[in-house]
Amino acid sequence: MQLEIRGLSKTYGNGVKALDNVSLTIPTGMFGLLGPNGAGKSTLMRILATLQEADAGTAMLGTIDVLKQKDEVRKVLGYLPQEFGVYPRVSAFEMLDHIALLKGVTQRGERKALVEALLQRVNLWEQRKRRLSGFSGGMKQRFGIAQSLIGEPKLIIVDEPTAGLDPGERNRFYNLLTEIGENVVVILSTHIVQDVQELCSNMAIINKGKLLYAGPPDSALRDMRGRVWEKSIAKAELDGYLNSGKLISNKLVAGKPIIHLLNDGSPGEGFVTAEPSLEDVFFGFIHASNQAPVNA
């Protein structure tokens, strides 16, 4: 099963065009949706999760019309939003049992077996009697994945899942998502490039509602090879490069700025070609999009 999105558009009442004629084919597996804050990622996720209406376009999950057959979509949808509410005084087991009941698992024995299996799968079995208010950020995210798996979904949408997690929690979450993504469509919406680099064989980059790239990360890296230039500079020089229109990223190494420029030839003395990273790909596309004329 795959998700086919064609010409999806959404403009808010204040005139902000959150999605501008977006078309994507998303196959089974982990699919990364990259973009800065405000790029349109969450609007796209909410539309696909049947929580918001599109102005135009289509979205088909197999034979299901996502925009018109909302009840059918919800039967096969698992959704983990960036912020999700739970009853803080309820235990993990009780909360999952309640959600399973709401999703139509009415037989008590079947529901108990399902909840136990899910808690084992996300490594929360030992915490099953603990109140959700006492969960760490990583535990809450793993609980969120558990609730999204109820009903054997065909489409799972995960919005900014690793924001605020420490490295250990992030790695555990990566492993869980990778396992889940083997058999279903999983859309991972994030502005953290490392999430996509670690998990996804396909990705898209959007900015200001427009689709900038869709395809494998490796293809984007190959296309940028030989065009990324690196140089260590003095801090006083940084403003000049920021105003040059070609700087895609900079970072401090031992207190000294290391800059990356995107250019077809050497930008000047002291620059060396750098092996492009997915961050270079991301910042390169975003930079080009931000430099484009408003009416482009």
Residues 187, 201: contact at Cβ < 8 Å? Answer: no
Backbone CA torsion sign across 38, 39, 42, 48: positive
Q: Which pLDDT does position 205 carry in this prediction?
A: 96
For residue 288, give every residue at least 6 positions away whose Cβ sits within 8 Å of its Cβ, in sequence order, or none.
Answer: 212
Q: Is 151 left (phi over 0), alpha (psi -120 to 50) or beta?
A: left
Show the 3-state SS of the chain. CCEEEEEEEEECCCCCEEEEEEEEEECCEEEEEECCCCCCHHHHHHHHCCCCCCCEEEEEECCEECCCCHHHHHHCEEEECCCCCCCCCCEHHHHHHHHHHHCCCCCHHHHHHHHHHHHHHCCCHHHCCCEHHHCCHHHHHHHHHHHHCCCCCCEEEEECCCCCCCHHHHHHHHHHHHHHCCCCEEEEEECCHHHHHHHCCEEEEEECCEEEEEECHHHHHHHHCCCEEEEECCHHHHHHHHCCCCEEEEEEECCEEEEEEECCCCCCCCCEECCCCHHHHHHHHHHHHHHCCCCC
**Tens place of pLDDT per residue across the chain (296 aa):** 899 999 999 999 999 999 999 999 999 999 999 998 889 998 999 999 999 999 999 999 999 999 999 999 998 999 888 777 677 889 999 999 999 998 888 899 999 999 999 999 888 999 999 998 888 888 888 888 888 888 889 999 988 877 777 788 788 878 888 888 888 999 998 888 888 988 899 999 999 999 999 999 999 999 999 999 999 998 888 888 887 777 888 888 888 899 999 888 888 888 999 999 999 999 989 988 887 655 44
Q: Which pLDDT does position 296 carry in this prediction?
A: 40
Residues 212, 179: contact at Cβ < 8 Å? Answer: no
Q: Which pLDDT does position 168 carry in this prediction?
A: 80
Domains of the chain and CATH, by start? 3-216 (3.40.50.300), 221-291 (no CATH)
- Report the distance separating Cα 222 and Cα 276, nearest Å: 8
Q: Which pLDDT does position 157 carry in this prediction?
A: 93
pTM score above 0.75 = yes
Phi, psi angle pair for 11, to nearest 5°: -120, 130
